[in-house]
Structure 1
Amino acid sequence: MTVRSLARAGVLANAAVVVVGLVVVTLLPSSDAGRQAVRTRITPVPVPSVSHPAGKPTAAEAARKVKANEAGMIPVIMYHRLLAKRRASIDRTPKQLRAELERLVREKYVPITAAEFVSGKFNVPAGTHPVVLTFDDGNPSHFALDTHGNPKKNTVVEILYEVAAKHPEFRPVATFWVNRNPFGIRDRSQEERAVKWLVGHGFEVANHTYTHPDLHRMKAKKVSEQIVKQERLLKEIGVPSSTTFALPYGSAPKKQRVAHDGSWDGTKYHFDGVFLASARPSVSPYAKAFDRYAIPRVQSNEKKSGCPVYCTQYWLDWLDKRPGERYTSDGDPAHISVPKKLRGKITPSRAKNVIAY
């Protein structure tokens, strides 16, 4: 599949998600449950010493050993509701989410947030691959606390911690792009409690507009109003300023700049990254080809569920068969390691940090 065909296919897939999303958004139910989770941490890999004592590999040797390729592709996975019984093609069941997370563990993927991805400031162990887990709309199935203050059973956060408890190398973090009434909560103090818990545990909570409209159908001023209203809400409930933004339905406004920079009613906003709906994995944030204002995502789904391409089963299989196309970490956040033949793919602004082996 060529780069041109990938791009063309991505546009078609993104348009399809707009149609599906417009139907599904009106069907959002709530769901709760309870269970204690265990928090885990990934120990950062130490930066290689400059002095290289006898017997210690150089940074280039270490990168070669793990076949590091930090110019490779990174899956940004898009999820919506978790339901015991799916009601739409973009829904997932708790069982399906667990199975997909277990696959990511087996294939040595380590989660990072969308904000970390866009900034390029992330560190996963040598030989592993970053993956961005994103959840749209702030559905109640994503996060809720039980009476003991722990994530409720079968919510996204509880499942992430369940997997991390079994696999210490798995980092339980994700990005939640929310609208008004995040996670179905309508009490301001409870919204603040939820945000405090999530941000305090390394999750990202960010802007997905106030009422989830199709921005392509709106005038630029109305687009900015939707974004600013949600930014104000997030600030009121304790969310740090959003650095990323997910387009509802993956539908970009006609004036695309207003999706990442603008103002309304005296309030300005700026996002470092804007995310589309389903298409394909993203190129590395260090690559020349990286477009931070049109970052593609991959819908979580199987081929048999009416998603033969552009979904996780297809793309995870594709990357598994082509390991040279996948981002593989050198474990050293101070450098960007790539095979020599890929050195030209790294943006010139990061050239001084490149190790080509």
Structure 2
Amino acid sequence: MKNKAIIIFILLTFVLSGCSKSDVSKSEVDLKSSDSAQSSEIKKESSDVKIDYNKVKPNELGKIMVLMYHNIGQEESTWVRTPDNFRKDLNTLYEKKYRTISLNDYASGNINTEAGFTPVVITFDDGNENNFRVFEENGDIKIDPNCAIGILEEFKKSHPDFDTTATFFLNSNIFNQPEYVDYKLNFLLENGYDIGNHTLYHTDLSKSDKDTIQKAIVQEIEVINKYVKDYSVNTLALPFGGKPQGDDYIYAIKGGYDSISYNNNAVLLVGWDPYKSPYHKNFDFSKIHRVRASETNVDNVGLYDWLNKFDENKQIRYISDGDSNTICIPNNYEDVLNKDIKDKIIVTY
């Protein structure tokens, strides 16, 4: 009986020690030191996602494009894309393995883009009618197939894995069809789009005092909330790219006027280059850069210029690992990681 007790004790000790060795650290998974890394195929503990890291080569500290559009029109110019060229943009992004995400998800680091693909954010400024035009036919409201929403909705049907979405930054004249404002704003929210703030009168905040800044932002929130009462308008595209001066910049982020307060999750500048990963130690949600989505007068910093630079590895693009619970990066990127991020597992390889 004594020998049996000793054997049982030894077996239990072996089993318990084996379990403790298999526990994976929640702070970092070093792929090179694990047995699984020898085949470069790792099953992440945070989900059922399983990828070959050496094949996919995720880098979630690469750069992300926030595309800046204004108009969809019949004649191409600096701030206008023709319907055919906008369709070309979407097809090009799709073929080059880009997938859209919302601006709020980008700013908050909630990125679920499929493994091996790159997130991209689409934005439209000014709320022009060519962004969202409708007409009535036999008593039904129809969307103009050549406006931005018409093109995006058609692309969504033919490319469901593109995760089609965009943010529309609005002024006072919302899509320039007053009788359809309620329909349009509710359509946007019901179909996966977001509404952003561009101030009621397109106010240049770089020439405004703190009271004017807050009033301009709150007035637009009031107008939007007349139609979508409970919607939180928490993103701002600075009109003209005008940055409030000095300490007044804080009012682009948060403030209030007439008992209405705001707290923006993202503040966007006028564009010229892709911006940092939300996991980068120098990422600043209040000064997000954008890329001009055009081919005219872009001074070598337009959409296709940056696509070429990414293709030629002159810029490092964000490559997703497919799991929003992890941040997956090559070993030599650890020095630019924001070490204060506590709610995600860090994966290195």
Residue 111 of structure 1 aligns to which amino acid in structure 2? T
Contact 1:72 1:326 in 2 (8 A): yes
CA-CA distance at 1:57 after TM superposition: 3.6
Contact 1:175 1:206 in 2 (8 A): yes
Aligned match of 1:22: none
Return the alpha-carbon distance in structure 2 between the equivalents of residues 212 and 324 of structure 1. 33
Aligned match of 2:20: none
Return the alpha-carbon distance in structure 2 between the equivalents of residues 333 and 253 of structure 1. 33
Residue 198 of structure 1 aligns to which amino acid in structure 2? L
Larger mean CA deviation between 253-262 and 145-154 belongs to 145-154
Q: Are residues 200 and 163 of structure 1, via their aligned partners in 2, closer, same or farther at CA, if it must alter by over 3 Å?
A: same
Return the alpha-carbon distance in structure 2 between the equivalents of residues 323 and 150 of structure 1. 44
Match of 2:267 among 274, 286, 290: 274
Match of 1:58 among 14, 39, 43: 43
Return the alpha-carbon distance in structure 2 between the equivalents of residues 167 and 323 of structure 1. 29
Return the alpha-carbon distance in structure 1 between the equivalents of residues 123 and 181 of structure 2. 19
Q: Are residues 186 and 348 of structure 1, via their aligned partners in 2, closer, same or farther at CA, if it must alter by over 3 Å?
A: same
Residue 263 of structure 1 aligns to which amino acid in structure 2? G
CA-CA distance at 1:219 after TM superposition: 1.4
Residue 309 of structure 2 aligns to which amino acid in structure 1? W
Aligned match of 1:329: 320
Please list, as runs of the form range in 1=range in 2, the aligned pairs for 1:181-196 lying within 5 A after superposition: 181-187=173-179, 190-196=180-186
Contact 1:308 1:314 in 2 (8 A): no
Matched, 1:143 2:142: no
Please, which runs of 5 or more residues in structure 2 have no aligned partner? 1-35, 45-49
Residue 347 of structure 1 aligns to which amino acid in structure 2? N
Larger Rg: 2
Return the alpha-carbon distance in structure 2 between the equivalents of residues 145 and 117 of structure 1. 30
After TM superposition, where is structure 1 displaced by more than 6 Å over at least 4 residues in a row?
none
Matched, 1:265 2:255: no
Matched, 1:156 2:148: yes
CA-CA distance at 1:63 after TM superposition: 3.4
Please, which runs of 5 or more residues in structure 1 have no aligned partner? 1-51
TM-score of the aligned structures, taking structure 1 as reference length? 0.79
Residue 192 of structure 1 aligns to which amino acid in structure 2? D
- Deviation track 1:4-57 (CA, whole Å, cap 9, x = no partner) reads xxxxxxxxxxxxxxxxxxxxxxxxxxxxxxxxxxxxxxxxxxxxxxxx9xx974
Aligned match of 1:285: 278
- Deviation track 1:198-243 (CA, whole Å, cap 9, x = no partner) reads 1011100111100102111111111111001011111111061122
Matched, 1:106 2:95: yes
Q: Are residues 260 and 343 of structure 1, via their aligned partners in 2, closer, same or farther at CA, if it must alter by over 3 Å?
A: same
Return the alpha-carbon distance in structure 1 between the equivalents of residues 73 and 311 of structure 2. 28
Residue 151 of structure 2 aligns to which amino acid in structure 1? I
- Deviation track 1:167-214 (CA, whole Å, cap 9, x = no partner) reads 332122101000112111323xx3222111110111001111001021
- Deviation track 1:138-167 (CA, whole Å, cap 9, x = no partner) reads 111111334344432101111112223333
Match of 2:62 among 57, 67, 72: 72
TM-score of the aligned structures, taking structure 2 as reference length? 0.81
Match of 1:307 among 288, 298, 312: 298
